[in-house]
Amino acid sequence: MPVDETTRDTVSVGTLQTIASVSAHSFGQAMQNSVHNQQAAATMGNAITGAICKRMVELDVAEAAGLTPLLAQLAKIAQSTPPDFEPE
């Protein structure tokens, strides 16, 4: 028995609407995930910055003095020219 053209068009429109609504839902979910990830990264960045600031404020004078030779050595290393690399 052949399918009526009106029925076929109705089914096609219904299928298209279903596909479009699923796509819209998936896009909305992806946007929510993206926003959540950005908020989580910002929260982590704020926590790290806060911890570093707290550590700087609470730094003991004797401990800071002990870091001076290490910082001087790191400065020397940073100023030295690395050796030339020649691939074989």
Q: What is the pLDDT of residues 6-33, one digit of tens each?
A: 777 777 777 777 777 777 777 888 889 9
What beta strand segments (E) does 1-88 contain?
Answer: none
Residue 86 lies in a domain: no
**Which residue segment(s) compose the domain that 60 sits in?**
26-79
Give tens-digit pLDDT for 40-67: 999 999 999 999 889 888 877 777 778 7
3-state SS assignment for residue 64: helix
| Closest alpha carbon to 68 in 50, 76, 79 | 76
> pLDDT at position 45, please?
92
Residue 85 lies in a domain: no
> Looking at the 3D structure of the chain, how many domains does it have?
1
Residue 75 lies in a domain: yes
Q: Residues, the chain, total?
A: 88
Q: Find the helix or strand (DSSP H, E) in which 61 lies.
A: helix 61-79
Residue 37 lies in a domain: yes
Residue 14 lies in a domain: no
Residue 34 lies in a domain: yes
Residue 50 lies in a domain: yes
3-state SS assignment for residue 69: helix
